[in-house]
Amino acid sequence: MNRVLRYKSFQVGSFGLLLALVPLLVTNRYYLTVMVFIGIHTLLVVGLNLLMGYAGQISLGHAAFFGLGAYTSGILTTTYHVSPWPAMVAAVVLTVTVALLVGIPALKLTGYYLAMATLGFGIIIHICFKELVWLTGGPSGLVGIPTLGIGKIMLDEPKAYYCLVWVATTAAIALSLNIVDSRVGRALRAIHDSESAAGASGISTSRLKIWVFAVSAVYASVAGSLYAHFITFISPSSFDFMFSVKLVTMVVVGGMASIWGAVFGAATLTVLPEVLTTFHDYDIVLFGLILMVVMIFMPQGLTRGALDIWDKYRFQRQRSLLVNR
């Protein structure tokens, strides 16, 4: 147990160190902005991966929690002049409440029925963002959200914001690694494999599923608040069904049931469209093509896929060494 803990703190520590190096080497605001978005997406995907990869429950409405976080932060700070940090806490409270209200009946469903229920929930929330014009600003969006500050220091430079986002994301990763290796994590994986078997061995499956649903909603809410304070303008189209699908894609491409896979998936799918912009109108076709090819040849996701290829390579090298001898 102690060794596992040490190994984990080593992983998180070296990851943190790597991240700390970035702002020293990269000074261009564009790359730092990309890194900020990767951080926000990672936070979302790590949470969703807990739900999908570990508990085996799909959510096609995760953009709604992201949006609830962003809009609560945005509305409280612009219309009601609440300062950003308390607003962020309020956003988390609201999002968890909504997650519980939806999760308790919805998580009784399984498979595609759960997917449909979360999808429907996501669309309802998206329509509310659009139609409650007096509250949300409607399709025109909400302007003038203040940037975050710590004390008197305003985090309005991408570099400062990069640090904030990645501190939050690294903390979330560390927390998730702990959850995954705890009693709860083992119970979650038991649910993933067989819900009835898990129930029979004394795990309170429904309570645990709702718990993990709420946790992933918290991650999404915090990510939403961070997003809103970073780009200072939000509109409903950033929180639509396609964004939910994109998040699920990030989880699957990175590799389900792997926290580091989530980081990888979020980073890949945030950077890929940026790289593809050089192909102008062809980028959407290429994106679809790459997605299909990756999934066909690495159905377990990029992390597992890469490991498989490495194993195969090592195996072949060993064999050729043996043959040569």
Contacts to other proteins from residues 258-297, by CB under 8 A: 273-274, 277, 280-285, 287-292, 295-296
Binding residues for other proteins, total number by CB under 8 A: 72
In which element (H, E) is residue 150 found? strand 149-150
Helix (H) or strand (E) holding 3: helix 2-25
Identity of the amino acid at 194: S
Cβ(192)–Cβ(258) under 8 Å? no
Subset of 155-174 contacting other proteins (CB under 8 A): 156, 158
Q: Is 308 in the site for other proteins (CB under 8 A)?
A: no
Three-class DSSP category at 141: coil
Closer residue to other proteins, CB minimum distance, 37 or 174: 37
Q: Shortest gap between Cβ of 2 and other proteins (angstroms)?
A: 35
Secondary structure tally for the chain: helices H, strands E: 14, 2
Name which of 9 and 237 has its Cβ closer to other proteins.
237
Torsion over CA: 170, 173, 179, 180 (sign)? negative
With residue 144 as reference, give the H or E element that holds it. none
3-state SS assignment for residue 261: helix
Which residues, numbered 226-245, are part of the site for other proteins (CB under 8 A)? 231-235, 237-238, 241-242, 245
Closest approach, Cβ 170 to other proteins, in A, equals 22
Site for other proteins in 20-39 (CB under 8 A): 28-30, 33-34, 37
Residues 54-113 that bind other proteins (CB under 8 A): 58, 105-106, 108-110, 112-113
* 206 exposure class (CB count in 10 Å sphere: 0-12, 13-18, 19+): middle
Q: Of the listed pieces 2-10, 14-22, 248-256, 310-318, which binds other proteins according to CB under 8 A?
A: 248-256
